[in-house]
Structure 1
Amino acid sequence: MITGIKNNCLLDFETELSLILNTYSNEIEKAKKIIIFIEDTLKKLTKWLKNHVFETIQEEIKFFKEIKPNIVAKLIFYKEILSLVATLPIDKTKKVKHFEKKIDAINQFHRKNREFIKYIKSHSSHFDELYFTRKKYKDLFLNDCMVINQDAKLCTSHDYLLAEVIAYELLVLHIENRIDNLNQSCAITPNQIHSNLHWTAKKIDLIELIYALHEAKVFDNGQADIKEITHVFEKAFQIDLGDNITRSFIDIKNRKTDQTRFLNQLQATLENKIENDLH
């Protein structure tokens, strides 16, 4: 039964993982130890899974939607951390660019899998039997090609994709903290900008504008960091945009219609002004 693997493996997994996290301070050494540990855990899980028969479809869905993806997600996360740290440049500015490049890749992943991520985030379940059970027949158009090379007893069409979603959420938070730490030394102090202006529109509107300006490369010939630009706007307009503007940008991208809503409003307003002045 599923409770057996929970008691014998998953609880031990969390305990051992915490022990490794508390034992090693070096980031690379810690990541290596955790990767070895998780791969060993997955080997045991694989052996168990090959001979296990789930009593109900609900049990199978629970395993492939809640249990396995959360273990695999940690493996993906720490492999990504190891890769990022091992290839980290020495120069601080290049380090920020290095981290931002990874965030851009994660954003592409989100765009590619937007509908599935919405399905997960909305706690939907109507496709669970299709996504998280090992049926012999599935819709060929919905299957990921990589499933062809995997043992059908060990995976479903979407359990690894869900693990990636979980892992990349953790990775974005980790990278944002790293970027914040790098930018602290060049952060703007309150005395550097004197303004009585206050931003009175929505915060998400300002974030939309900041991303547009950043992508247009209008500051420092495109070399300015998005965090630095954000700090300037926060100080200039006396507003706190919070620590996670990347997550806000993901919300903008996930809009079903009118993704650049604020920019469209600005354009329409300015065009109306020009039109009225001509008459």
Structure 2
Amino acid sequence: MITAIKNNSLLDFENELSLILNTYSDEIEKAKKIIMFIEDILKQLSDWLKNHAFETVQDEITFFKEVKPNIVAKLIFYKEVLLLIATQPIDKNKKVKHFEKKLDSINQFHRKNREFIKYIKSQSTQFDELYFTRKEYKDLILNDCIVINQDAKLCTSHDYLLAKVIAYELLALHVENRIDNLNKSCSIMNIQFNSNLHWTAKKVDLIELIYALHESKVFDNGQADIKEITHVFEKAFQIDLGDNITRSFIDIKNRKSDQTRFLNQLQDALETKIENDLN
């Protein structure tokens, strides 16, 4: 497996990870086994990196941009999951708040690192050599502060940050799913709708609309939860938005242009209707 990873292939790693996931049913035990597995992999990679010189700059970029961050991301993710489980309260309502607080911190992280996330999402490469190669002398102002206390042979200025980006996207989906499960007993889930309307636009368009309504505080004087609003729309328009709410909103935020694309289309359509009626 290590040989495959050294050759910039994550296939063996993902296969081993799947084996562990399928072997253990207990969530805590599963997370602990995965953490031990990944830490062992990273220790072996660290020993290798201390004496390794990549044949080309592109090989080094590929390793620190595509291979290592995806391994470290899984470690961050499962450590976060363990911490969430260990610190969750007993009361159900308090559990929901517990997980919502984690979602808030994830969103804060995304806001803080918005430009870097845009760089990654847009598949840009112009700063790859700066971000994802090991150089003995770099402008520390450009570096993530965490690398100052790390061995420069083992990391670059941004590979750990990229790992956190990947991990937090996984964590956001995980936390949203937990909140969904906790809210299943809420009365909103049992509301019966008689409408035959079906949402036929894109799911991401509906998600954009839901977030706009939530942020406008038009329901319950702004006290309505985003999940509650989402469930109402799912029931009303017979659509399953799944676990992709937060992830889709992250994609909306990271659009290069026209971030409120669907809302702009709605405004244009209504203005056109008004103009046509007046003529």
Normalising by the smaller structure, the TM-score range is 0.7 to 0.9
Does the alignment pair 1:164 with 2:164? yes
Q: Distance in 1 between matches of 2:4 and 2:230?
A: 50
Structure 1: how far apart are the matches of 2:230 and 2:264? 21
Partner of 1:231: 231
Match of 1:24 in 2: 24
Structure 1 CA distance, aligned partners of 2:171 and 2:68?
Answer: 18
**Counterpart in 2 of 1:33?**
33
Shift of 1:43: 1.1
Identity score, percent = 81
Could you report, residue by residue, the CA deviation over 1:28-80 in whole angstroms, capped at 9, with x for unpaired residues? Answer: 12111211221122111111110111111111111111111111011001001
Per-residue deviation at 1:89? 2.2
Could you list the per-position Cα deviations for residues 78-102 of structure 1 after superposition, in whole angstroms to 9, with x for gaps in the alignment?
Answer: 0011011111222333222222221
State the Cα deviation string for residues 195-248 of structure 1 (Å, max 9, x = none): 577778876565344334434655456553311111223334x25262222223
Which position in structure 1 is the counterpart of 2:246?
Answer: 246
Q: Which amino acid aligns with 1:242?
A: L
How far, CA to CA, are the matches of 1:220 and 1:174 in structure 2?
27
Structure 1 unaligned segments of length 5 or more: list them: 274-279
* Residue of structure 2 equivalent to 1:62: 62
Shift in Å at residue 5 of structure 1? 5.1
Q: Which whole-Å CA distance do the structure 1 matches of 2:14 and 2:260 have between them?
A: 42
Matched with 1:277 is none
Corresponding position of 1:48: 48
User: Which is worse superposed, 95-104 or 129-138?
Assistant: 95-104
Partner in structure 2 of residue 104 of structure 1: 104
The worse-fitting range, judged by mean Cα deviation, of 69-78 and 136-145 is 136-145
1:188 corresponds in structure 2 to 189
With the length of structure 2 as denominator, give the TM-score of the two structures: 0.80
> Normalising to structure 1: TM-score of the pair?
0.80
Whole-angstrom distance in 2 between the partners of 1:202 and 1:12: 36
Structure 1 distance, partners of 2:134, 2:65, is 12
User: Structure 1 residues 65, 262: closer, same or farther in 2, change over 3 A?
Assistant: closer
Which of 218-227 and 69-78 deviates more? 218-227
Higher mean alpha-carbon deviation, 24-33 vs 249-258, is at 249-258
**SS at 1:141 equivalent:** helix
Change (3 A) 1:98 1:213: farther
1:99-131 CA-to-partner distances (Å, cap 9, x unmatched) read 222122111211221222122222222211111
The SS at the match of 1:156 is coil
Q: Per-residue deviation at 1:157? A: 0.5
May I ask how many residue pairs the two structures share in their alignment? 270
Pair 251,123 (structure 1): closer, same or farther in 2 beyond 3 Å: closer
Q: Which whole-Å CA distance do the structure 1 matches of 2:17 and 2:202 have between them?
A: 41
Query: In structure 1, what residue type is equivalent to 2:175?
Result: I
